Amino acid sequence: MDDTFNSALSVQEGIEQPSEVNPYLTKRQPKRELTADECVEGILRGDRVVLSRAITLIESTKPEHYAKGQEVIERCLPHSGNSIRIGITGVPGAGKSTFIESFGTYLTTQGHKVAVLAIDPSSERSKGSILGDKTRMESLSVNPKAFIRPTPSGLTLGGVARKTRETIILCEAAGFDTILVETVGVGQSETIVKSMTDFFLLLLIAGAGDELQGIKRGIMEMADAIVITKADGDNQLKAQQARNQYQSVINLFPANDNGWQVPVTTCSVYDQSSIIAVSNLINRFAEETRANGFFHLQRNQQLVKSFYEWIDFSIKSRFYENTEVKQLIEKLLPQIQSGHITPYQAGHQILENH
Amino acid sequence: MDDTFNSALSVQEGIEQPSEVNPYLTKRQPKRELTADECVEGILRGDRVVLSRAITLIESTKPEHYAKGQEVIERCLPHSGNSIRIGITGVPGAGKSTFIESFGTYLTTQGHKVAVLAIDPSSERSKGSILGDKTRMESLSVNPKAFIRPTPSGLTLGGVARKTRETIILCEAAGFDTILVETVGVGQSETIVKSMTDFFLLLLIAGAGDELQGIKRGIMEMADAIVITKADGDNQLKAQQARNQYQSVINLFPANDNGWQVPVTTCSVYDQSSIIAVSNLINRFAEETRANGFFHLQRNQQLVKSFYEWIDFSIKSRFYENTEVKQLIEKLLPQIQSGHITPYQAGHQILENH
């Protein structure tokens, strides 16, 4: 199953780079676009070069790529879903890349095929942290059982979410059984990652006193497990103390409706057993929630939710992008703010004719 | 200013009751509908009978009442806004009604005019807790400087929010300078109350051990102050301990962007000084946030937010209530859930022609 990954070519190209920043890829990249058939066949036999190019296709904003991209997704759908999707977020300094490098490598030694995707809302501006991804996970990026894909760039937050969900489908169809979706940056992307993953991992570090400081409100409550990283050397005791503190805060939260008790554990990339422990607890989560039906239920809910979210988003964009609507809003907002009309009166005026 | 409230009639009718449950009101209620002029004039001179009837008018779902109701609101708007709007929520058993009774009565002794409104999403089913409101606040309900209005019934959550915002405008125009908006029931209504008030008060009681148990996630983070009620008799020490525990949890939250340090205090309706202390801290909040601009900024943001929320809600209802859309969704949802099409493919199908 993994023999398709053994050539140096595949390994290199597994890390998709836009052609303008990777001269090697430019030389090798064939001019001809792959057909939908070629994409699907390549993906299903686990060819990472084809997978990369198919992802590029669905990320394309060119109208002529749209139908083909959707056909590829549709034909991959029946082969998708057989995976665990793990969301990973962390406070700055928690060593997220180092953790993923170590955790992902361990998973590949256990026979898993690991895809690492990233959700980075800031990529809208910065055009993605592509070089970052390459240098951040040196050993995983050349691991034949791993596939690292930077966040799609030049999209809105909603667009990033959609493309990442579609990328997950293609990766799963290509045989990747463990999907790691990491947040890049802090703040906006956690909810999105949570909405497309089965398990949500929060990486924290031992701080100085005010342990909750700096974690965005609500993120702790999303977590299915909290891992205090860098629990090594002089830091070990502090990490253990932080673990206890977080555990007592977590215990104050109401119980989850899936029956899962959120564990707080410490971890060091220098201690393989602590990495194994994280893997084991995720396995236990998957087993338990598959048995009690929550795993399937959550995926179903995520599908339905993203359907409605997408419709809501689309009808809103359609409405607010209407030129007359824009002008009316511009005219009415100051009147609302100065208290001359109520928000409802203004709303009625706009909706009457649009 | 308060002389209009001195007749027993006004006092009685200040508590608006649907005519079917209050035989006295039925006898007195004139057949003729008030004109918009009569409504506005009555409200501006602080006539609570007229205020009550004007609120009934804007709560009416009859189309013929709509334009008149909106005219009344529009003409009251320039006279509104001069108040502090205080949201009050509490865990079951915290004695919210008793607190409001005591707190509201104290405010009236200080020369304030106090309106008590309620947001009760369950009123959609139960048709409001009208009898509850009457019996819950016995002394406040006959206080000439207070006006108690039950939650509008028979509306959706969004409708309740809108009508309550409009009711606030009328109450302020009638000279009420303190608006208490209480949540009835637990769960859904806190966000709505928060979105229309300047200050959000959370009432808690000393529990047994797991102090955070039972408080919905996120509600503690909305609070501008937390009051541990029933801090009297044998309960005093426990209340103090709970106070300390909550204060330490609150201290772990990131600082508010308005510069306000959320205080946690204890309170007993048998100890007037503790009620005064709550009033003082709200005054301090109002002073500080008026000085630093947050008070005005928050009100402005609330107006703009409710404007967009209302439009979003309206365009969504319009879309989803379309019969063809309904049928398509019914057809496509099972295909999404079974993994035959993606949420986006289904969405596209629906939006193409609608």
Q: Over the stretch A179-235, which tens digit does the pLDDT of each residue have?
A: 999 987 556 788 889 999 999 999 998 874 444 555 655 788 889 999 999 999 989
Quote the ipTM score. Answer: 0.75
The pLDDT of residue B29 is above 80 = no
Where is average pLDDT lowest: A296-310, B6-20, B174-188, B324-338?
A: B6-20
Tell me the nearest-neighbour CA distance from B314 into chain A, angstroms.
8
**Interchain pair A342, B165: CB under 8 A:** yes
pLDDT at A4: 37
**Interchain pair A311, B319: CB under 8 A:** yes
**Interchain pair B342, A252: CB under 8 A:** no
Chain B residues whose CB is inside 8 A of the A196 CB are none
Tell me the nearest-neighbour CA distance from B121 into chain A, angstroms.
20
- Residue of chain B whose Cα is closest to the Cα of A336: B303
- Residue of chain B whose Cα is closest to the Cα of A350: B311
- Show the domains of chain A with their CATH numbers: 81-292 (3.40.50.300), 298-352 (1.10.287.130)
**Interchain pair B344, A251: CB under 8 A:** no
Alpha-carbon Rg for chain A in angstroms:
22
pLDDT at A215: 62
- Residue of chain A whose Cα is closest to the Cα of B316: A312
* Minimum-distance CB partner of A315 among B304, B315, B337: B315
Residues paired with A202 in a beta bridge:
A89, A226
SS3 content of chain A, % helix, strand, coil (to 5): 60, 10, 30
**Interchain pair B166, A80: CB under 8 A:** no
pLDDT at A216: 59
Q: Over the stretch A8-47, which tens digit does the pLDDT of each residue have?
A: 333 344 444 444 445 455 555 556 889 999 999 999 999 9
- Contact of B151 with B16, CB cutoff 8 Å: no
Residues paired with B264 in a beta bridge:
B226
* Minimum-distance CB partner of A341 among B74, B254, B310: B74
Q: How far apart are CA A151 and CA A136, in angstroms?
A: 14
* Minimum-distance CB partner of B303 among A73, A249, A337: A337
**Interchain pair A166, B344: CB under 8 A:** yes
**Interchain pair B218, A217: CB under 8 A:** yes
In terms of pLDDT, which residue wins out, A166 or A154? A166
Q: How far apart are CA B109 and CA B111, in angstroms?
A: 5
Q: Over the stretch A118-150, which tens digit does the pLDDT of each residue have?
A: 887 654 444 444 444 556 788 898 899 999 998
Beta strands in chain B (DSSP E): 84-90, 114-119, 146-149, 178-183, 199-204, 225-228, 264-266
| Mean predicted confidence (pLDDT) in B147-160 | 79
- Residue of chain A whose Cα is closest to the Cα of B252: A212
| Mean predicted confidence (pLDDT) in B183-205 | 86
In terms of pLDDT, which residue wins out, B348 or B93? B348
Chain B residues whose CB is inside 8 A of the A307 CB are 332-333, 336, 343, 346-347
Residue A251 binned pLDDT confidence (cut-offs 50, 70, 90): confident
**Interchain pair A212, B162: CB under 8 A:** no
Chain B residues whose CB is inside 8 A of the A160 CB are none
Tell me the nearest-neighbour CA distance from A335 into chain B, angstroms.
10
The pLDDT of residue A327 is above 50 = yes
Q: Over the stretch A84-110, which tens digit does the pLDDT of each residue have?
A: 999 999 887 888 999 999 999 999 999
User: Which residues touch A135 (CB under 8 Å, ≥6 apart)?
Assistant: none
Tell me the nearest-neighbour CA distance from B252 into chain A, angstroms.
5
SS3 content of chain B, % helix, strand, coil (to 5): 60, 10, 30
Q: Over the stretch B36-81, which tens digit does the pLDDT of each residue have?
A: 999 999 999 999 999 999 999 999 888 889 889 999 999 999 999 9
**Interchain pair A310, B165: CB under 8 A:** no
The pLDDT of residue B7 is above 60 = no
Tell me the nearest-neighbour CA distance from B100 into chain A, angstroms.
28
The pLDDT of residue B13 is above 90 = no
pTM to 2 decimal places: 0.68
- Contact of A339 with B81, CB cutoff 8 Å: yes
Look up residue B318 and give its two tokens: 């319009």
Look up residue A305 and give its two tokens: 């939710």
pLDDT at B131: 45
Q: How far apart are CA B178 and CA A272, in angstroms?
A: 61
| Mean predicted confidence (pLDDT) in B290-301 | 94
pLDDT at B121: 61
The pLDDT of residue B153 is above 90 = no
**Interchain pair B300, A211: CB under 8 A:** no
Q: Encode A252-264: b = buried (16+ Cβ within 10 Å), e = exposed.
A: eeeeeeeebebbb
